[in-house]
Amino acid sequence: MRISDNEVKKILDGQSIVDEIVHIGKESDREADEKLTAQVTQNVLEMGDREDLVADLKARIEAGTYNPTGDDIADAMIRRSIADRIR
């Protein structure tokens, strides 16, 4: 699972979506609930379809056109490490 740049920034700033949900969950304000619903909906809509991503990568690997840079690989390793630590 890939972690977005926004989520990495939130984690590094000591925030997380869980903290936001807990904070909003403590408020009894309907507006806060609507805000959370809108944010989660937007996040889901912005997610790409995993099957499409996997199919695209497979096609690029088979065609020999998938050539990640060292920076791309390091970025993926760091994101994975962050994700593993917050689980």
Give the DSSP per-residue string, the chain: -PPPHHHHHHHHTT--HHHHHHHHHH---HHHHHHHHHHHHHHHHHSPPHHHHHHHHHHHHHHT-----HHHHHHHHHHHHHHHHH-
Question: pLDDT digit string (tens) for 30-84?
Answer: 777 788 888 888 877 777 777 888 899 999 999 999 999 999 999 989 888 888 8
pTM: 0.41
Q: How far is CA 2 from the centre of its chain?
A: 6
Amino acid 39 reads Q
